[in-house]
Amino acid sequence: MPAPHSSTSPFRARSLLFVPGDNERKLQRSETSDANLILIDIEDAVVLERKAAGRDTVAAYGLSHRERTCPLWVRMNPLGGENALLDLAATVHAAPDGYLVPEVRSAADLRVLD
């Protein structure tokens, strides 16, 4: 069994498991994987009509899995689009270990997150 993830310990990802953010069944199955990081995708893996449902699913999953053996990240929508802030607002309270931010054009883009 892998050592529990700690936010104070360094982490090097060897295997990432991308899981569609609107698919509860696949999220549940991800718990049995040997991945070093679970990345819940609400960008490319979720169609526009399901973005809100995907955000809700990600938030509920994160809140119900506070104790986990590997890091849980969220792949959000690009900062320049209308969905990025909605993604953050809906999921930040679930305390993911990190966010994958696509299509970053400059450091200024990331300052938006700060």
Q: What angle do CA 90, 75, 40 make, to 5 degrees?
A: 80
* CA–CA separation, 3 and 12 (whole Å): 13
* CA–CA dist 28, 41 (Å, integer): 14
Q: How confident is the model at residue 85 (pLDDT cuts 50, 70, 90)?
A: very high
Which residues are bridge partners to 40 per DSSP?
19, 74
pLDDT digits (tens, 9 = 90+) for 47-83: 999 999 999 999 999 999 888 778 999 999 998 888 9
Cite the DSSP H helix spans in the chain.
Answer: 24-30, 51-64, 83-91, 107-111
**Separation of alpha carbons 112 and 84, rounded Å:** 10
Residue 89 in this model has a pLDDT that exceeds 90: yes
